[in-house]
């Protein structure tokens, strides 16, 4: 096992009714709160009513309109509003986009320089405290230090990260996810699945606990995901999916093991160029990447076949093929296309994606740093 340092300070309040119970306990009395959210979903599903009630007694200012794939210009407007209202606490109410965007706002508010620096490698030295009410189980942003912000004119999705940006608390009430449309249910399950495989499908690293943990998450997602599509208001199913998604990217799974984030890096370019939902890009790239990298990942792919998909017959190559096919079928069962053609794209897209990868220095991806542009090209061609 590799050396690692693990730190995760986010306090999780999990379960039905936790918004009313915990929000006012967590936000320091006297805070001036900037409440951030996306479009209209929190008004139609009753989440806003619960939040507004819990915030009685605080001064708060609401910032609406953080879009899916949060945009830099929108977030700068939120920073200006927070400054003029003298806000000293941020409460994000939403999915990964609202939480990521709020992390950026928290850092930008305390940053003396040009906010764009924070998206080009400068680390914040301080951040306004932030907490969140999660409404979409997918990204793990609710208890990790990462975020991704889109710069529209530059056609870039820019990641940032700092230990200062862990939410202070995260309220995870599974009933908030009852109102998700099927597309977002599928997206969430697939995003959590791919976060797990990217910390698992590499090469054996003498880390059996992390392997079993990953396999437990994957098997749970495979079992519970389709149930959420069939019975959107099944509390137990939603609770299990929500907890899986949080744990898939809260840092614990990846401790001491090699990681391969190539699917995400290629996927981010597809979102920036063609506005494909984050998880939908992953569903296209992962099966193609596994097929292309089958030799480097052979040991783990065989383990994945046996322990996650119960595939035990046939020779090694047949078992790997079957595991990749099962993964593809699962993504499609969750409603996500697994080919670029499913998003109306053909081979003309490939050079554009490669040019973006090159521009962003994504030329040595994967656990072995072996996914160069030629390899990314082969992956994209397999994904057509
Ligand atoms: O804006 P509203 O009206 O709220 O609608 C949202 C949005 O349109 C809707 N929604 C959210 N909760 C709902 C709901 N609709 C009905 N009922 C509810 N309870 O869902 C739509 C998508 O929301 P979004 O927040 O964009 O989805 P998700 O949570 O999948 O987040 C995706 C973003 O997270 C980033 C992605 O790149 C993307 O920008 N990621 C962040 C990561 C991190 N911080 O660690 C890691 C991930 O790999 C990912 O890159
Ligand atoms: Zn993701």
Which atom of ligand 1 lies nearest, measured to the CA of 184?
20
- Ligand 1 centroid, distance to 196 Cα (angstroms): 18
Confidence of residue 84 (pLDDT cuts 50, 70, 90): very high
Span 234-259, average pLDDT? 98
Span 216-233, average pLDDT? 98
Mutate which of 35, 97, 106, 252 for ligand 1 pocket (most atoms within 8 A of beta carbon) = 97
Confidence of residue 81 (pLDDT cuts 50, 70, 90): very high
For residue 157, the ligand closest to its alpha carbon is 1
Residue 50 host element (H or E): helix 47-54
* 3-state DSSP assignment of residue 158: strand
C-beta of residue 150 within 8 angstroms of C-beta of residue 156: yes
| Predicted confidence (pLDDT) per residue in 146-194, tens digit | 999 999 999 999 999 999 999 999 999 999 999 999 999 999 999 999 9
Mutate which of 46, 65, 92, 96 for ligand 1 pocket (most atoms within 8 A of beta carbon) = 96
Question: What is the model's pLDDT at position 151?
Answer: 95
Task: For the chain, give the mean pLDDT.
Answer: 97
Rounded percentage of the chain residues whose pLDDT exceeds 90: 99
Co-location of 225 and 90 in the same domain: no
Span 38-61, average pLDDT? 96
Co-location of 344 and 243 in the same domain: yes
Query: What DSSP designation does 145 have?
Result: S
Residue 374 to residue 384: CA distance in whole angstroms: 16
Co-location of 367 and 233 in the same domain: yes
Q: Angle at CA 202, nearest 5°, toward 201 and 203? A: 120
Co-location of 117 and 208 in the same domain: no
**Helix axes 316-333 and 182-197, enclosed angle (nearest 10):** 150
C-beta of residue 182 within 8 angstroms of C-beta of residue 139: no
Ligand 1 neighbours by CB, cut-off 6 Å: 38-42, 45, 68-69, 94-98, 100, 135-136, 138-141, 144, 146-148, 176-177, 179-180, 184, 187, 191, 249, 264, 278
Co-location of 227 and 376 in the same domain: yes
Co-location of 222 and 326 in the same domain: yes
Question: What is the model's pLDDT at position 190?
Answer: 99
C-alpha pair distances (Å), 89 with each of 72, 119, 204: 20, 22, 43
- Ligand 1 centroid, distance to 253 Cα (angstroms): 22
Confidence of residue 213 (pLDDT cuts 50, 70, 90): very high
Neighbours of 74 (CB within 10 A): 17
Residue 224 to residue 228: CA distance in whole angstroms: 7
Of the candidates 66, 99, 69, the one whose C-alpha atom is nearest the C-alpha of residue 81 is 66
Rounded percentage of the chain residues whose pLDDT exceeds 70: 100
Question: What is the model's pLDDT at position 187?
Answer: 98
Query: Nearest residue CA, atom 8 of ligand 1?
Result: 68
Parallel, antiparallel or unpaired: strands 130-134 and 89-94: parallel
Co-location of 232 and 276 in the same domain: yes
**E strands of the chain, at which residues?**
11-14, 32-37, 59-63, 89-94, 130-134, 146-151, 156-161, 169-172
Residue 324 to residue 98: CA distance in whole angstroms: 33
Parallel, antiparallel or unpaired: strands 32-37 and 89-94: parallel
- Ligand 2 centroid, distance to 264 Cα (angstroms): 6
In a domain, 38, yes or no: yes
Confidence of residue 242 (pLDDT cuts 50, 70, 90): very high
Residue 34 to residue 106: CA distance in whole angstroms: 10
Question: What is the model's pLDDT at position 150?
Answer: 96
Residue 218 to residue 164: CA distance in whole angstroms: 30
* 3-state DSSP assignment of residue 264: helix
Question: What is the model's pLDDT at position 308?
Answer: 98
Q: How many residues are listed for the chain in this entry?
A: 384
C-beta of residue 378 within 8 angstroms of C-beta of residue 353: no
Query: Nearest residue CA, atom 22 of ligand 1?
Result: 68
| Predicted confidence (pLDDT) per residue in 101-137, tens digit | 999 999 999 999 999 999 999 999 999 999 999 999 9
C-alpha 148 chain-centroid distance: 9
- Ligand 1 centroid, distance to 68 Cα (angstroms): 6
Co-location of 194 and 296 in the same domain: yes
**What is the extent of the structural domain holding 44?**
11-176
| Predicted confidence (pLDDT) per residue in 194-204, tens digit | 999 999 999 99
Number of domains observed in the structure of the chain: 2
Question: What is the model's pLDDT at position 267?
Answer: 98
Query: What DSSP designation does 49 have?
Result: H
In a domain, 285, yes or no: yes
Question: What is the model's pLDDT at position 18?
Answer: 98
We report the CATH number of the domain holding residue 327 as 1.20.1090.10
For residue 174, the ligand closest to its alpha carbon is 1
Query: Nearest residue CA, atom 2 of ligand 1?
Result: 39
Co-location of 152 and 222 in the same domain: no
Co-location of 170 and 190 in the same domain: no
Question: What is the model's pLDDT at position 169?
Answer: 98
- Ligand 1 centroid, distance to 39 Cα (angstroms): 11
Residue 36, φ and ψ in degrees, nearest 5: -110, 145
Co-location of 130 and 216 in the same domain: no
We report the CATH number of the domain holding residue 81 as 3.40.50.1970
- Ligand 2 centroid, distance to 278 Cα (angstroms): 7
Q: Which of 153, 176, 199 is the last residue of a domain?
A: 176
Query: Nearest residue CA, atom 18 of ligand 1?
Result: 180
C-beta of residue 170 within 8 angstroms of C-beta of residue 103: no
- Ligand 2 centroid, distance to 193 Cα (angstroms): 9
Neighbours of 29 (CB within 10 A): 8
Q: Which of 119, 152, 176 is the last residue of a domain?
A: 176
Span 247-266, average pLDDT? 98
Of the candidates 371, 380, 332, the one whose C-alpha atom is nearest the C-alpha of residue 352 is 380
Confidence of residue 228 (pLDDT cuts 50, 70, 90): very high
For residue 134, the ligand closest to its alpha carbon is 1
Q: Which of 159, 176, 193 is the last residue of a domain?
A: 176
| Predicted confidence (pLDDT) per residue in 276-317, tens digit | 999 999 999 999 999 999 999 999 999 999 999 999 999 999
Confidence of residue 46 (pLDDT cuts 50, 70, 90): very high
- Ligand 2 centroid, distance to 32 Cα (angstroms): 32
C-beta of residue 96 within 8 angstroms of C-beta of residue 105: no
């Amino acid at each position: 096992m590799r050396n690692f340092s693990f730190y995760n300070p986010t306090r999780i309040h999990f379960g039905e009714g936790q918004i009313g119970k915990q929000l006012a306990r967590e936000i320091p009395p006297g805070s001036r709160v900037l409440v951030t959210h996306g479009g209209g979903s929190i008004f139609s599903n009753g989440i806003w009513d619960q939040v507004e009630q819990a915030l009685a007694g605080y001064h708060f200012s609401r910032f609406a309109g953080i879009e899916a794939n949060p945009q830099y210009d929108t977030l700068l407007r939120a920073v200006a509003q927070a400054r003029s209202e003298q806000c000293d606490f941020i409460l994000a109410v939403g999915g990964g986009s609202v939480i990521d965007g709020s992390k950026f706002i928290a850092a930008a508010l305390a940053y003396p320089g040009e906010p764009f620096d924070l998206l080009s490698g400068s680390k914040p030295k301080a951040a306004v405290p932030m907490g969140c009410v999660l409404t979409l189980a997918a990204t793990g942003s609710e208890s990790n230090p990462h975020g991704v912000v889109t710069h529209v004119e530059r056609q870039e999705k820019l990641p940032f990260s700092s230990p200062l940006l862990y939410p202070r608390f995260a309220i995870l009430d599974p009933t908030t996810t009852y109102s998700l449309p099927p597309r977002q249910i599928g997206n969430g399950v697939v995003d959590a699945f791919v976060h797990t495989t990217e910390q698992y499908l590499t090469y054996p690293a003498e880390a059996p606990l992390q392997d079993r943990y990953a396999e437990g998450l994957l098997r749970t997602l495979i079992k519970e995901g389709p149930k959420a599509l069939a019975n959107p208001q099944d509390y137990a199913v939603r609770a299990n999916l929500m907890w899986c998604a949080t744990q898939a990217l809260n840092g614990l799974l990846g401790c001491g093991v090699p990681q391969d984030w190539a699917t995400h890096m290629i996927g981010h370019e597809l979102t920036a160029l063609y506005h494909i939902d984050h998880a939908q890009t992953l569903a296209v790239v992962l099966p193609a990447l596994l097929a292309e990298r089958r030799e480097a990942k052979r040991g783990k792919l065989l383990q994945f076949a046996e322990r996650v998909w119960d595939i035990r017959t046939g020779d090694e190559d047949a078992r790997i093929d079957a595991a990749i096919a099962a993964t593809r079928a699962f993504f499609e069962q969750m409603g996500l296309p697994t080919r670029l053609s499913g998003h109306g794209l053909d081979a003309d897209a490939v050079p554009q994606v490669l040019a973006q990868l090159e521009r962003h220095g994504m030329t040595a991806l994967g656990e072995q740093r072996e996914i160069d542009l030629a390899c990314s090209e082969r992956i994209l061609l397999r994904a057509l």
